[in-house]
């Protein structure tokens, strides 16, 4: 239970690697963490909120507003609650928005409100990853102090081989535990 007492925001975006986020979520829970999933609208095309809420024992947050009844989700409260925010998988689009403050969904507003360390695990095809735009955005995120969990090299979902596959959930878990060991609180 190496994450007992820790609050984690798990951000999930619209990548084919989103299925791995379910395994990462399971690992966080098994280690004793409380996890709030925040998923982009595109992310929900790749993995269902039902799976994620069942694994986390919490409703998944995705939209700003509730069911037209005046309720809303508070990214500010979430940003203050977390000990660490982990965005896995992180698409090229989401990293571009993070780098430029384009706060058009719950995940980005939560990111901008987060006082805690933010860890980002990119996932995409090799050419998207190698593009100067993606690389520049990653550099900007590093400048902001975000921690990039570098993608691995190997066979990609597209069938191509190269760098871009999201790091394995077990390795992301270890990186999170190490990070929380360094910085105890936000």
Please report, as ranges, the residues that interact with ligand FMN according to CB under 6 A.
13-17, 40, 42-43, 91-94, 123-124, 128
Nearer to ligand FMN, 24 or 180 (CB): 24
Nearer to ligand FMN, 83 or 125 (CB): 125
- The distance of closest approach from Cβ of residue 5 to ligand FMN in the complex, given in angstroms and rounded to an integer, is 30
- The distance of closest approach from Cβ of residue 185 to ligand FMN in the complex, given in angstroms and rounded to an integer, is 29
Helix (H, G, I), strand (E, B) or coil at 93: helix
- The distance of closest approach from Cβ of residue 88 to ligand FMN in the complex, given in angstroms and rounded to an integer, is 12
18-30 helix and 49-56 helix, angle to the nearest 10 degrees:
10
Of 36, 33, 34, which is closest to residue 9 (Cα–Cα)? Answer: 36
- The distance of closest approach from Cβ of residue 157 to ligand FMN in the complex, given in angstroms and rounded to an integer, is 7
Structure tokens at 154: 């190997």
DSSP designation for 146: P
Instruction: Tell me phi and psi for residue 81, to 5 degrees.
Output: -70, -35
Nearer to ligand FMN, 7 or 134 (CB): 134
- The distance of closest approach from Cβ of residue 127 to ligand FMN in the complex, given in angstroms and rounded to an integer, is 11
Nearer to ligand FMN, 79 or 151 (CB): 151
What is the side-by-side order of every strand in the sheet holding 84-90? 34-39, 7-12, 84-90, 118-122, 147-148
Is the preceding omega at residue 89 within 30 degrees of 0, hence cis?
yes
Q: How far apart are CA 155 and CA 164, in angstroms?
A: 9
Residue with tokens 């400048």: 143
Nearer to ligand FMN, 93 or 110 (CB): 93
């Amino acid at each position: 239970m190496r994450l007992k007492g820790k609050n984690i925001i798990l951000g999930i975006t619209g990548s084919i690697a989103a299925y791995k986020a379910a395994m990462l979520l399971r690992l966080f829970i098994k280690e004793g963490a409380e996890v709030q999933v925040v998923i982009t609208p595109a992310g929900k095309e790749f993995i269902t909120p039902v799976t994620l809420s069942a694994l986390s024992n919490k409703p998944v947050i995705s939209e700003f507003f509730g069911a037209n009844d005046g309720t809303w989700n508070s990214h500010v409260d979430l940003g203050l609650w977390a000990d660490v925010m982990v965005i896995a998988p992180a698409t090229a689009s989401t990293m571009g928005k993070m780098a430029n403050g384009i706060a058009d969904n719950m995940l980005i507003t939560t990111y901008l409100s987060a006082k805690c360390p933010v860890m980002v695990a990119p996932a995409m095809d090799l050419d998207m990853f190698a593009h100067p735009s993606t690389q520049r955005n990653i550099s900007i995120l590093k400048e902001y102090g975000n921690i990039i969990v570098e993608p691995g090299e190997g066979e990609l979902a597209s069938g191509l081989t190269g760098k871009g596959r999201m790091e394995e959930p077990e390795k992301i878990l270890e990186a999170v535990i190490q990070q929380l060991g360094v910085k105890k609180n936000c």
